[in-house]
Amino acid sequence: MTSPTQPEYQGRRLPRPEEELVDQGLGFDVGTLLSRRNVLTVLGFGAVSFGLAACSPSGSGATSGASAATTGLSEIPEETAGPYPGDGSNGADVLEQSGIIRSDIRSSFGTSTTTAEGVPMTLKLNIFDLAQDGAPFEGVAVYVWHCDRDGNYSMYSTGVEDENYLRGAQVTDASGNVTFTSIFPACYTGRWPHIHFEVYPDAESITDSTNAIATSQVALPQDWCEKVYATNGYDQSVRNLAQVSLTTDNVFSDDSGASQLGTVTGSIEGGLTVTLDVGVDTTTAAGGGGSAPADGQGGGPGGTPPTDGPGGTPPADG
């Protein structure tokens, strides 16, 4: 892990700590540059200084409660919702169910109270409104879902079709923040460890997946994945993680997840906290929501979800 006193920006060490953020060199810019869409916007943030990065030992999450415009945060990349969204785009719909608005998503709700086991994880997403100069995005609904310790998705995978654990939605507070209590997800075949999320204009909008104003994924840092997967119950993840990387994963490979890589703090014993700052721009078209693959392999809304769950060989874009 990086020393807390080492100047960072979005979890990356500054190669030239004595210089301003915009003077860290082309290699650093390409790796961190923030978004696949708004490079020109980022290059305009000349006022972002080394002092800002130096006071942010944890990278992402340091802008919580502040204007994203002061930090150079750009729009979160739009990603596929994957074949297991549970948002109604391919049949299964947890967003219509009473109880989906909750902070602790470890247990199923409704007819089952099964609890997913694994290393405790708190997920903190800080949502910023880029259409309003990066102000905290208050009042938007954030739906989160991810696989369990065995790489299975509730509502879809064999044996957990009747469960809805590791799924939940919350409405952002005045600081644009939501916090979920969960467990660290597995690494399953063909994908880098990740967490899915969709952002909706408000709580009432989440009953229709086409209302999503942003759909993306949180990438989990390799060093923490290795530590978690060394614990009991994550045996399959050790092998699967060795077969994929951020540079080969078909969701994160174009920039190694530079603007989607969560910052992790805490400990295995006491629980981990994963934090990510998320820039949402309502002036651009959302491209991920409601796009669950029809054939389990590619794009296109609706259709029948794959029958071979992620515990086996899931779609590469799951």
- Residue spans of the domains in the chain: they are 8-58, 59-318
pLDDT value at position 288?
Answer: 58
pLDDT value at position 86?
Answer: 98
Task: Please give the C-alpha separations between residue 86 and each of 141, 145, 169, 205, 299, in angstroms, as whole numbers.
Answer: 16, 9, 12, 15, 16
Q: Which pair of structure tokens corresponds to residue 176?
A: 């644009």
Count Cβ atoms below 10 Å from residue 112 Cβ, excluding itself: 14
Secondary structure (3-state) at 276: strand
Among residues 97, 105, 191, which one has the least CA distance to residue 144?
Answer: 105
Helix crossing, 235-242 with 222-229: angle to 10°? 150
pLDDT value at position 13?
Answer: 63
Q: Which residues contact 195 (CB under 8 A, 6 or more apart)?
A: 123, 144, 145, 146, 185, 217, 218, 220, 262, 274
CA distance 115 to 166: 9
pLDDT tens, residue order, the chain (318 aa): 444 455 666 566 666 566 555 444 434 443 443 333 333 333 333 333 333 333 333 344 545 556 766 568 999 999 999 999 999 999 999 999 999 999 999 999 999 999 999 999 999 999 999 999 999 999 999 999 999 999 999 999 999 999 999 999 999 999 999 999 999 999 999 999 999 999 999 999 999 999 999 999 999 999 999 999 999 999 999 999 999 999 999 999 999 999 999 999 999 999 999 999 999 999 998 865 544 443 333 332 223 344 444 554 445 467
pLDDT value at position 9?
Answer: 61
Please name the CATH architecture into which domain 59-318 falls.
Answer: Sandwich (2.60)
pLDDT value at position 30?
Answer: 36
